Amino acid sequence: MNRYLFLFVISVIYLICSARSCNDRDDVAAGEQRSLSMVRDSVKNESGVEFLSDEAIRGLEVTAGEKLRDLADYLQIVNDTNADPVFRKKAAVMVSTLFISGNPRICLNFNQDRSGILLPKLLQDGMDGKQPQAELLISSVQTINPLKRTNDTIYSGQIRFVQTNRFAAGRSAEIERRAQMFSVRSRKVFGSDTLLVWKVVLGNIE
């Protein structure tokens, strides 16, 4: 769902840029206002509902899998001691935005038990070069507990996935894990409006 909205926004930006080359300033301003209104209405239609439809829930569950893959990509950057420290710090910040809280318990290393470690320590260990540098792949993501309404602002569920770590010299290891997923209704400033939108975040990974 977010990907479709992103493509729609890009299309709008393209139309705005095209308009600048063939219309005067007043026409461009009017066009930009109309485009902003269209995007705002799209956000309202897609995300501003109080209750999630079955179709919306399925879309959000797919997005949760994408968040897991984003997590794997960001962690690889954090753990890469050869990468620019600025990029590594930014990746650590992006990891934190993927979760419902700042202290989820994460188990992604094969040398850990299922209890894992808290996210801040995982990130700090990565920045300090204490996490293994390996290609981390996420595959076979499946919903095992569909998103269900917990209260007025949260839906919760659980997904299952396969984690593969590829190390140097062709060595690899694979394990099945589970992760909490949440859809949280939060306020988002969009132009002059403040909209209530549903976003997907992760919880504990075991």
Q: What is the structure's pLDDT at 113?
A: 61
Contact between residue 49 and residue 97 where contact means Cβ atoms under 8 Å apart:
no
Q: At 136, which helix (H) or strand (E)?
A: strand 135-151
- Same domain as 178, residue 194: yes
HSE at residue 13, side-chain half, CA atoms within 13 A, is 6
Confidence of residue 98 (pLDDT cuts 50, 70, 90): very high
- Same domain as 34, residue 67: no
Q: How far apart are CA 73 and CA 165, in angstroms?
A: 12
Between 173 and 120, name the one with better pLDDT.
Answer: 120
Per-residue pLDDT reduced to its tens digit, 3-18: 444 444 444 454 454 4
Specify the number of domains making up the chain. Answer: 2
- Same domain as 85, residue 42: no
Range of the domain at 117: 54-205
- Same domain as 201, residue 103: yes
- Same domain as 75, residue 8: no
- Same domain as 201, residue 174: yes
- Same domain as 149, residue 101: yes
Confidence of residue 181 (pLDDT cuts 50, 70, 90): very high
